[in-house]
Amino acid sequence: MNTVRQLDRVVIRFAGDSGDGMQLTGDRFTAETAKLGNDLSTLPNYPAEIRAPAGTLPGVSSFQIHFADSDILTPGDEPEVLVAMNPAALKANLPDLKSGGIVIVNTDEFTKRNLTKVGYAANPVEDGSLDDYQLIEVPLTSLTIGALEDYDIGKKDAARSKNMFALGLLSWMYSRTTGVTEDFLKKKFAAKPDIAEANIAALKAGWNYGETAESFAVQYEIPPATLPAGTYRNITGNQALAWGVIAAGVASDLPVFLGAYPITPASDILHELSKHKRFGVTTVQAEDEIAAVGAALGASWGGALGVTTSSGPGIALKSETISLAVSLELPLVVIDVQRAGPSTGMPTKTEQADLMMAMFGRHGEAPIAIVAPQSPSDCYEAMLEATRMALHYRTPVMLLSDGYIANGAEPWKLPDPADLPDLSVEFATEFNDTDSSGNEIFLPFKRDPETLARPWAVPGTPGLQHRIGGIEKADGTGDISYDPANHDHMVRTRAAKIAGIPVPDLEVEDPGDTDVLVLGWGSTWGPIGAAVRGLRDRGIPIARAHLRYLNPMPANLGEVLARYDKVVVPEMNLGQLSQLLRSGFPGTDVIGYNKVRGLPFTSNELQDALEEVIKNG
């Protein structure tokens, strides 16, 4: 009889060759875990090359899941369990493993040839180099082939199911069920029932192996977390963003028009939206990013919700058109899924270094609104917010996601579409002024006195024909104007319009008894939250706040900053928000914590950094 040990949380990483199906394995383990009511957070890690040679370090693909009996904020700093399907996976991932952690290796793949391929002189499974860990050796490939002996498939095909064997084994170890995955396999391979059966058999064999093999003395249990009641699903940032675009179309009752050009890590938004034409979503894969944003702007002009998605290099190309949209005062949502730059940089790695580009990366005085989601599921709401600002203030809005949010996943309590905000707009259909001879006329730049937004008269509206363009125009009439005073007025008016967009006040979580505030933006929300929690658990108080609105910033920001002696700003860049705060709120003692390694912060490093400031200033 095995002993069952209770845990409150665990971090597992599945790693193998990119052909080993590790993403699927992770995805299925996640589905079972979600079903059991644990809170969780996941992060995949793909090789940058599409078909890196098998068995090599660049070919390693991994999937990390952190799950717990309470709510959690990140996919976990260091895995406590590593499943290594081959020597390359072991070599690439072992440095991250917590010391004393569990390593499960597929010994079948630790052949002399495979070992030399990744530069192991000796077999780490045998030479004692894994002594610091709990090593569990499982001949996964041969066990899988053995389990599928009675099936009418070749050895090679049988061996392919070894990921399902591993999944079954881990499911047993962590007391997961396998039913959800069995249903999934039946559906996925509906056309090939024998493949479905073989995979299910491998899955079950893995589970049974755990139950019977002596190497597995302990089985773990992680009780469900107490989460707010509701229906949940697991969702990645890109998926939530795409669904947010759909929801924005529903909430505004406008057709959605997406112009996009493929680029990592933003392409999945294009892929996802292309599947959902039934929502009146048109997707155009343009010839480049300039055409993509141009088409979106053209559709906006025509009365659609124009959206364009890209990443840093593509956003740079869109810059001139975004300025045009600023000058035309038409709605446009620009989604930047940031990646490590400059130039091609590290396309599959995350970074937050496009903030200054979003703020200032245009010619002339061309302010736009900026929103940054804080987690994968938050992308949905952030998109609705971006849409609200774009439609009601007739302005481009930049939504700053990043690779960490885009590919990471977390459970999401499903919103009810009945609760969608009303984002509907009124198009201009009537004359809005009279000329000196008393004729009724339409002035395309006569502004709403409150929002400063101009009327949106779409082509096709009888009688309101007018011309717009990037040349400076007289306020009101929209006629070409080189009048110095008018230009000064227009520049200031466009700036005032953005500055006047109402955004919610910044909320501060202050346990009292502290003069240090940690302030982040975007995807650092999870790691900062986990670090703050860790500090407080150790009795070290610290206040925290997170910026979702980067332009305009919340009205109470200055007052909040003034309350603290020190403001620590962790960013995955060299201090872009720090600079904005220093110039916007002089007198604030801003202390940046900056790293650009293409990786999210770990909560441990943030805890150390914050503690250092608290203790030593």
Partner 1 sequence: MADAVKLDAPKLKAKDFKSDQEVRWCPGCGDYAILAAVQSFLPELGLEREKIAFVSGIGCSSRFPYYLNTYGMHSIHGRAPTIATGLATSRPDLSVWVVTGDGDALSIGGNHLIHALRRNVNLKILLFNNRIYGLTKGQYSPTSEPGKLTKSTPMGSVDAPFNPLSLALGSEATFVARTLDSDRAHLQQVLRAAAEHEGSAFVEIYQNCPIFNDNAFEVLKSAETRDEAIIRLENGQPIRFGDRAVVQSGYGLEVKDVADVDESDIVVHKSDVDDPAYAFALSRLSGTELDHTPIGVFRSVERPTYDEQVRHQVEEASAGVDRKGALDRLLNSGDTWTVL
Which residues 324-343 are close enough to bind partner 1 by CB under 8 A? 324, 328
Interface pattern 443-462 for partner 1 (x via CB under 8 A)? ----------------xxxx
Specify the residue, 152 or 419, whose C-beta has the smaller distance to partner 1.
Answer: 419
> Is residue 465 near partner 1 by the rule CB under 8 A?
yes
Between residue 368 and residue 407, which ones bind partner 1 under the rule CB under 8 A? none
Among 54, 250, 425, 491, binds partner 1 (CB under 8 A): 250
Specify the residue, 412 or 549, whose C-beta has the smaller distance to partner 1.
Answer: 412
CA separation for the pair 27, 409 (Å, rounded): 10
* Structure token digits, residue 109: 């793949």
Instruction: Convert 47-87 into a string of H (helix), E (strand) and C (coil).
Output: CCCCCCCCCCHHHEEEEEEEEECCCCCCCCCCCCEEEECCH
Q: How many chain residues bind partner 1 (CB under 8 A)?
A: 75
Of 191-199, 245-253, 541-549, 580-588, the segment contacting partner 1 by CB under 8 A is 245-253
CA separation for the pair 199, 462 (Å, rounded): 63
Of 55-63, 84-92, 292-300, 446-454, the segment contacting partner 1 by CB under 8 A is 292-300
> Is residue 296 near partner 1 by the rule CB under 8 A?
yes
> Is residue 427 near partner 1 by the rule CB under 8 A?
no
Between residue 33 and residue 52, which ones bind partner 1 under the rule CB under 8 A? 34-35, 37
Nearest to 443 by CA among 452, 454, 453: 454
Among 279, 447, 487, 491, binds partner 1 (CB under 8 A): 279
Among 16, 259, 396, 403, binds partner 1 (CB under 8 A): 259
Q: How far is the CB of 402 from partner 1 (least distance, A)?
A: 24
Specify the residue, 5 or 233, whose C-beta has the smaller distance to partner 1.
Answer: 233
Those residues with Cβ within 8 angstroms of residue 558's Cβ, 6 or more apart along the chain or in another chain: 584, 585
Of 111-119, 246-254, 448-456, 577-585, the segment contacting partner 1 by CB under 8 A is 246-254
Nearest to 68 by CA among 104, 93, 37: 37
Cα angle: 567, vertex 573, 577; to 5 degrees: 40
Per DSSP, the three-state class of 179 is helix
> Is residue 228 near partner 1 by the rule CB under 8 A?
yes
Among 146, 193, 417, 584, binds partner 1 (CB under 8 A): 417
Give burial (CB, 10 Å; 0-12/13-18/19+) of 175.
middle
* C-alpha distance from residue 556 to each of 371, 447, 577 (Å): 17, 27, 17
Helix (H) or strand (E) holding 410: strand 409-413
Among 294, 373, 376, 529, binds partner 1 (CB under 8 A): 294
Between residue 471 and residue 510, which ones bind partner 1 under the rule CB under 8 A? 471, 479-480
> Is residue 153 near partner 1 by the rule CB under 8 A?
no
> Is residue 249 near partner 1 by the rule CB under 8 A?
yes
- List, as one string, the DSSP characters of 111-127: -HHHHHHTT-SS-TTTS
Among 83, 148, 304, 614, binds partner 1 (CB under 8 A): 304
Q: How far is the CB of 321 from partner 1 (least distance, A)?
A: 7
CA separation for the pair 379, 441 (Å, rounded): 42
Specify the residue, 4 or 414, whose C-beta has the smaller distance to partner 1.
Answer: 414
Q: How far is the CB of 323 from partner 1 (least distance, A)?
A: 8
CA separation for the pair 208, 1 (Å, rounded): 13
Specify the residue, 195 or 468, whose C-beta has the smaller distance to partner 1.
Answer: 468
> Is residue 164 near partner 1 by the rule CB under 8 A?
no
List phi, psi (to 5°) of 212.
Answer: -105, -30
Q: How far is the CB of 442 from partner 1 (least distance, A)?
A: 11
Specify the residue, 147 or 332, whose C-beta has the smaller distance to partner 1.
Answer: 332
> Is residue 243 near partner 1 by the rule CB under 8 A?
yes
Q: What is the largest CA-CA distance in the chain?
A: 97
Nearest to 239 by CA among 309, 334, 185: 309
Give burial (CB, 10 Å; 0-12/13-18/19+) of 130.
middle
> Is residue 316 near partner 1 by the rule CB under 8 A?
no
Q: Which residues pair with 60 in a beta bridge?
A: 17
Q: How far is the CB of 122 from partner 1 (least distance, A)?
A: 43
Of 124-132, 351-359, 402-410, 466-474, the segment contacting partner 1 by CB under 8 A is 466-474
* C-alpha distance from residue 117 to each of 57, 262, 385 (Å): 9, 33, 50
> Is residue 31 near partner 1 by the rule CB under 8 A?
yes
> Is residue 190 near partner 1 by the rule CB under 8 A?
no
